[in-house]
Amino acid sequence: MIEADNQIDRVVSLMRGFRATQTVYVVAKLGLADRLSGSPATAQEVAADVDAHPDSLQRVMRLAAFYGLFEEIEGGRFALTSLGRALTSSSPDSVKPLAVMVGEAQYEAWGALLHSVRTGTPAFEHVHGAGFFEYLAAHPEAQEVFDAAMSVGVNVRTSRLPDVVDFSASRLLVDVGGGNGSLAAAVLKRHPHLRAVIYDQPQVLEAADKYLSAIGVRERCELVSGSFFESVPPGGDVYLLSNIVHDWDDERALRILRNCRAAMKPEGAVLLVETVLGEHGRPSAATLADVNMLVLLTGRERTENEFRALLERADFRLTAVNELSWDHECALEARPLTR
């Protein structure tokens, strides 16, 4: 009986996951962790600073304490925990932008998961009336949140990337769909001899200009706008695609990869930073990312064998797969099959 009760508790906990998502979102959106990072405060004191209803905020902050983000202490005050510190803006490993992104437009799209399962089309477009990237282009604030969220985890990736990829013979890194340039910038920091091209849509490059200037590598970067479905900048030694291929179905992914193949130097390489699914029959947390692609876009996460086959169709040979983080994100390096 106890074992059966535990199983029921687990299922109930799973079905209530949306409550945790929205609690974390409110903490991030209102900057509650930032407000408590200096010293504990009452909900009434915090409400005055974040323009919230005091009693309602107190109830949500108690729920956040249940989840371990805060601790309720004497005097009706709330203190920030080590777990909650990850939602501060100042934390070097802050996930605050990711919490905001997940809690807004993506959260609404996941509410229509059944639509994707029944139709095979993205729930995001069904809910918001526009494709994911079209929606971002039309909503600058959402684009800004997305760019910041894509920087989450960059420290983890780049702490391993220079150790598993040899950039010593390279001179030009082309970051295809590079967003605000955060990943390329981190590589440039580690490799002073490198230059980079950040290639993305015009509205995205505005954020890249600001970010790269702030981090001190702007003079080593060229910002180029365009569509990777049409072409990519030529002459690169390494073409970096971080979480790009998984956005698209095989045919569109092939178009991007073939454009990279046509543009690169004969001795060049393509470097994919992607989540790698376990082979079928071996469930992993990567399946979360896979269904996220189902909901948001037309893409999917792929197994190592699926990446190998896709790359071969684009005239590449997969030469190395190295894990970068605990959540199955890997660096996949590929070289041209023919030269």
**pLDDT digit string (tens) for 124-152?**
999 999 999 999 999 999 988 988 888 77
Supply the pLDDT for residue 3. 62
pLDDT of residue 156: 58
Structural domain including 111 reads 96-146
191, 312: one domain? yes
Domain shared by 250 and 292, yes or no? yes
What's the pLDDT tens digit per position in 276-313? 998 876 667 789 999 999 999 999 999 999 999 999 99
- Whole-angstrom Cα distance, residue 178 to residue 27? 29
State the distance between the two ends of the chain, measured CA to CA, in whole angstroms.
66
Which among 36, 62, 87 is the end of a domain? 87
| pLDDT(166) > 60 | yes
- 160 and 140 within one domain: no
Whether residue 325 is predicted with pLDDT greater than 80 in this model: the reply is no
Question: What is the pTM (predicted TM-score) of this model?
Answer: 0.86
Determine the Cα angle at 301 with ends 298 and 302, to 5°.
120
If DSSP states are collapsed to H, E and C, what string results for 47-74? HHHHCCCHHHHHHHHHHHHHCCCEEEEH
Same domain, 10 and 124: no
Same domain, 24 and 137: no
The verdict on 176 and 300 lying in the same domain is yes
Give per-residue pLDDT as tens, 254-277: 999 999 999 999 999 999 999 999
Check whether residue 219 and residue 313 sit in a common domain. yes
Is the domain of 167 the same as that of 307? yes
| Model confidence at 163: pLDDT above 80 | no
- Split into its structural domains, the chain has a count of 3
pLDDT confidence band for 207 (50 / 70 / 90): confident
Amino acid at 249: D
243 and 208 share one domain: yes
If asked whether residues 310 and 228 sit together in one domain, one would say: yes
pLDDT digits (tens, 9 = 90+) for 1-58: 456 678 898 999 999 999 999 999 999 999 999 999 999 999 999 999 999 999 999 9
Range of weakest confidence among 46-50, 280-284, 327-331, 333-337: 280-284
| 45, 46, 50, 51: CA torsion to nearest 10 | -50
pLDDT, position 109: 97
- Per-residue model confidence as pLDDT tens digits over 70-122: 999 999 999 999 999 999 999 888 999 999 999 998 999 999 999 999 999 99
Catalytic residue set: 246
